[in-house]
Amino acid sequence: MGQIPDSNEKDVNIAVEAAKKAFKNWSITSPEERFKVLNRIAELIEVHLPELALAETNDNGKPLWLSKKVDIPRASANFRFFATGIMHFATESHSMEDKAVNYTLRQPIGVVGCISPWNLPLYLFTWKIAPALAAGNCVIAKPSEVTPVTAFLLAKICREAGLPDGVLNIIHGTGTNTGEAIVKHPDIKAISFTGSTRAGERIASLAAPKFKKLSLELGGKNPNIIFADCDWEKMMKTTMQSSFSNQGEICLCGSRILIEETVYEKFKAEFIERTKALTVGDPLDENSKQGAIVSKVHFDKIMRCIDTAKQEGGKILCGGSAVQPEGRCANGYFIQPTVMEGLGPNCQTNTEEIFGPVVTLQSFKTEEEALQLANATQYGLAATIWTQDISKANRMAAKVESGIVWINCWLLRDLRTPFGGMKNSGVGREGGWEALRFFTEAKNVCIEL
């Protein structure tokens, strides 16, 4: 389709110089002025939706209907949300009765770095850029080298919206070259990263000695806990989505399905039937429920994980192979949605992220056992709980080790809520005030009365 530069340290330096220059004016613009430009970007993303959605699908392999329905509308929503949010952002004051009063200033940090992955390219790119800009920072942003096109198109939209030069610098290239040059740059004071735990670890090791502010949104191995007393039809429908949406390439997908023993066989039979009915094929075909895997490298990784699962004693209940659609996609990277059972909680398949259309089934007898299975990984991003017993749901939610818990739903997002993971799934939270606090420096001012 095209080529992008693998930008190096010198390119990053040029971007940082431009950002530093632009910061002088951007950091003192009023929230209203920033609102106007950012809201205009949101509107223009909507205007350009067809072009952006097609670019996202061509780049990533996800079905076009999904790009149109989810990815691009959410990118626009991200800008609109933080454009309006900054108009309502307030700071704290702490009174010491008749002795003194403290107030907190929240000032923009300066030049910040935003690095995002390939699975929800424009969606996650804008989720970082919008709050950073709204808070008055200038941004050096790097999309994934695997899916760079919508970020390039966004740059054009920002110009059209009147974002001043140097405020947002979109720079392309690989993680090891461009990404690390951003993380290491002494004048980039904060890094907001979404991607793999492996890259997050490397970034943390580079940024920590320089005392940079860090937000890390990393991998997941999320449990989907199903009790016998759930709303069955709703659970089945949503579990299909939480297992296989976006070819399973969503950090929030529930890849470990834990089912109460009394309904295990019933669930298994119905889930397999529904999974077999999913159409895998050309992402441009409205009937394709599943598109292509993002790249050859990732396709090979998922196929290796399926092999490992077999070696570990896993039984493939459906899927497990590549798919070769007819026509223009004949040589594409397609994988059948795959369901497995017979694997214990501590094997590689159930502890390491696969990030593809692959789920495992395990059964449990008690709440306690469900919790043990749910918490048996180093990850702690999201969990889903299905039950009509609200007390049980609340007990489980309090004890499950994850930053996000959905009860009787999945991926229902209110952009004001804290978003992020515990354990190896990350450090810090995005969303709402959390994001605006991350992208500002808090300064306490104390006045003696």
Whole-number minimum distance, CB 119 to ligand NAD, in Å? 5
Q: Is 92 a catalytic residue?
A: no
* Residues 119 and 249: beta-carbon distance below 8 Å: yes
Structure tokens at 309: 């699962």
CA 158 – CA 48 distance, rounded (Å): 12
353 binds ligand NAD, rule: CB under 6 A: yes
305 binds ligand NAD, rule: CB under 6 A: no
Active-site annotation holder among 56, 145, 180, 217: 217
Count Cβ atoms below 10 Å from residue 103 Cβ, excluding itself: 14
Task: Give the x/- contact pattern for ligand NAD in 154-183, rule: CB under 6 A.
Answer: --------------------xxx--xx--x
Whole-number minimum distance, CB 215 to ligand NAD, in Å? 10
- Beta-strand relationship, 358-364 and 382-386: unpaired
Q: Is 217 a catalytic residue?
A: yes
Whole-number minimum distance, CB 180 to ligand NAD, in Å? 4
Closest CA to 114 of 134, 144, 70, 155: 144
426 binds ligand NAD, rule: CB under 6 A: yes
Three-state DSSP state, 332: coil
Select 29 or 58, whichever has its Cβ closest to ligand NAD: 58
244 binds ligand NAD, rule: CB under 6 A: no
Select 281 or 428, whichever has its Cβ closest to ligand NAD: 428
Whole-number minimum distance, CB 353 to ligand NAD, in Å? 5
Tell me how far apart the terminal alpha carbons of the chain are, to the nearest angstrom.
Answer: 66
Tell me which stretch binds ligand NAD (CB under 6 A): 10-18, 189-197, 342-350, 363-371. 189-197
Beta bridge partners of 448: 100
Beta bridge partners of 260: 364
Whole-number minimum distance, CB 355 to ligand NAD, in Å? 5
Strand (E) or helix (H) holding 443: strand 440-448
Whole-number minimum distance, CB 400 to ligand NAD, in Å? 16
Whole-number minimum distance, CB 251 to ligand NAD, in Å? 3
381 binds ligand NAD, rule: CB under 6 A: yes
- CA angle centred on 426, ends 421 and 428, rounded to 5°: 80
With a CB cutoff of 8 Å and minimum separation 6, the contacts of 5 are 11, 172, 173
Size of the residue set binding ligand NAD (CB under 6 A): 31
- Would you state the torsion angle of the CA atoms of residues 384, 386, 390, 391, taken in this order, to the nearest 10 degrees? -70
406 binds ligand NAD, rule: CB under 6 A: no
Active-site annotation holder among 114, 138, 158, 251: 251
Select 130 or 263, whichever has its Cβ closest to ligand NAD: 130
Q: Is 418 exposed, middle or buried (CB count within 10 Å of its CB: 0-12, 13-18, 19+)?
A: middle
Dihedrals φ, ψ of 305, to 5°?
Answer: -65, -35
Q: Is 157 exposed, middle or buried (CB count within 10 Å of its CB: 0-12, 13-18, 19+)?
A: buried
Near ligand NAD by CB under 6 A: residue from 36, 202, 392, 395: 202
Near ligand NAD by CB under 6 A: residue from 11, 56, 59, 217: 217
Count Cβ atoms below 10 Å from residue 425 Cβ, excluding itself: 28
71 binds ligand NAD, rule: CB under 6 A: no
Q: Annotated catalytic sites, by residue?
A: 217, 251
Residues that bind ligand NAD (CB under 6 A): 115-119, 124, 142, 144-145, 174-176, 179-180, 183, 194-196, 199, 202-203, 217-220, 251, 353, 355, 381, 421, 426
